[in-house]
Amino acid sequence: MSTLADTKTLLAELIGFPTVSSDSNLHMIRHLAERLSHCGAEIEVWHDETGTKANLFATLGPKLDGGIVLSGHCDVVPVADQDWTSDPFRMEERDGKWFGRGACDMKGFIAAAVAMASHYAALDLQRPVHFAFTYDEEIGCFGARALAETLREKGLKPAVAIIGEPTSMRIIEGHKGCYEYTTHFTGLEGHGSGPDRGVNAVEYAVRYVSKLLELKEDLQSRAPEGSRFEPPWTTINTGALVGGVAHNVIPGKARVEWEMRPVQKSDADFVKGALHQFCAHMLIPAMQLVHPDAEIKTEVIGEVDGLTPMEESEARDLVMELTGANGADVVPFGTEAGIFQGLGMSVVVCGPGSIDQAHKPDEYVSVDQVKQCLGMLERLASKLV
């Protein structure tokens, strides 16, 4: 069977596993593990604490540092309330396109990578190639974070990672991070006629939001020189301010839901540090003067690291050579790439299909895109021997 035909068969099988983030991915992981171990890959399956989800890490070639990771997430977004022409979990071919949930985001890349595994296995590999397939990307990259933690514990240091998110096979070397928080304010309820006898949680939340606005301004002057992001600096957004009961009641509870999108990790540290200072030295002492149990607590909803473009990048140079591209871009959407970069790897995002089709009804990957991806992976073989 040609590699393209094999990729098609495998993609149809993978689309058949309804790996929506809320559900188990174990059937898909088992299937991929079977395929890869059949090629002689060393397989590791690392479960999450619920035991219903797992990461797969498979290796072909010598047990050495400096390998190349091909990575993708197994989970897909839900299909509820979407109007599909055909069953989203049964692949259909129409007009040179393969339709199905996850076709481009990102089972197409996974199928292509695993279909190439038997070719790699037949070579005398000098450099290891790893397959890293994760869970829960769509809801906060939890799988990739756990995988990174396990690699760190094992002391394994691959050099390069290619994340096959749908980029229409363009090379992406940078995207902002996405950090989301909910900050909870607990004051003391009271009657509106005696403001000094209560701790007004909404008013403290407003002061907190004012601080966010101040930091939002400060961040503009911290934009790295030559930043290609749009806008070039780290942004902050206050998405919700919730609290209070009625005109004449001092509110005892309030919360602020906010996010920042860092262009560099130091900006996130700057914001967190400034907020900590402000709460610890200004807001909390004032609140506790009236009510010792008053508090401000920030809940981390998700901290997905950005991918920072690097001046020297083995991954970019490698994938430019493999695809014939003459440059690399930055994009506004987040991926798992920053997590791999955090492990010290050189990372790019490059995969078949368009982000325009991801998460939508009638998601597809075009056969032409899959061919281009297989071309890249075929040429990668020469870099492994």
Catalytically active residues are: 75, 137
Shortest Å distance, C-beta 131 to Zn ion: 16
Q: Which is nearer to Zn ion, 105 or 305 (CB)?
A: 105
Considering the complex, state which of residue 56 and residue 212 has its C-beta at the smaller distance from Zn ion. Answer: 56
Residue nearest to Zn ion (CB): 105
CB of 19 to Zn ion, least distance (A): 12
Q: What crossing angle do the helices spanning 314-323 and 367-380 adopt, rounded to 10°?
A: 120
Confirm or reject binding of residue 363 to Zn ion (CB under 5 A).
no
Burial of 23 (0-12, 13-18, 19+ CB in 10 A): middle
State which residue, 104 or 376, has the beta carbon closest to Zn ion. Answer: 104
**DSSP single-letter state for residue 88:** T
Cβ proximity to Zn ion: between 165 and 362 the closer is: 165
Q: Is 61 exposed, middle or buried (0-12, 13-18, 19+ CB in 10 A)?
A: buried
Q: Which residue has the tokens 């005398």?
A: 124
Strand order, beta sheet including 346-349: 42-47, 54-60, 129-134, 68-73, 160-163, 346-349, 172-175, 329-331
Per-residue contact flags (x/-) with Zn ion for residues 136 to 165, judged by CB under 5 A: -----------------------------x
Number of residues that bind Zn ion (CB under 5 A): 3
- Dig out the tokens for 82 from the structure: 């979407």
Q: Does 105 bind Zn ion (CB under 5 A)?
A: yes
Stretch that binds Zn ion, among 100-108, 213-221, 256-264, 300-308 (CB under 5 A): 100-108
Of the pair 165, 203, the CB lying nearest Zn ion is at: 165
Subset of residues 207 to 246 that bind Zn ion, contact rule: CB under 5 A: none
By C-beta, is 163 or 219 nearer to Zn ion? Answer: 163
Query: Using an 8 Å Cβ cutoff, are 364 and 97 in contact?
Result: yes
Closest listed residue to residue 46, CA positions, set 141, 155, 137, 132: 132
Say whether residue 75 binds Zn ion (CB under 5 A).
Answer: no
* Strand 42-47 relative to strand 54-60, pairing: antiparallel
Q: What is the 3-state secondary structure (H, E, C) of 342-383?
A: CCCCEEEECCCCCCCCCCCCCCEEEHHHHHHHHHHHHHHHHH
Least distance from Zn ion to the Cβ atom of residue 137, Å: 6
Q: How far is the CB of 95 from Zn ion (least distance, A)?
A: 23
Q: How far is the CB of 25 from Zn ion (least distance, A)?
A: 14
Smallest distance, Zn ion to C-beta of residue 301, A: 19
Q: Which two tokens stand for residue 157?
A: 């240091």
Closest CA to 23 of 91, 78, 87: 78
List residues near Zn ion by CB under 5 A: 105-106, 165
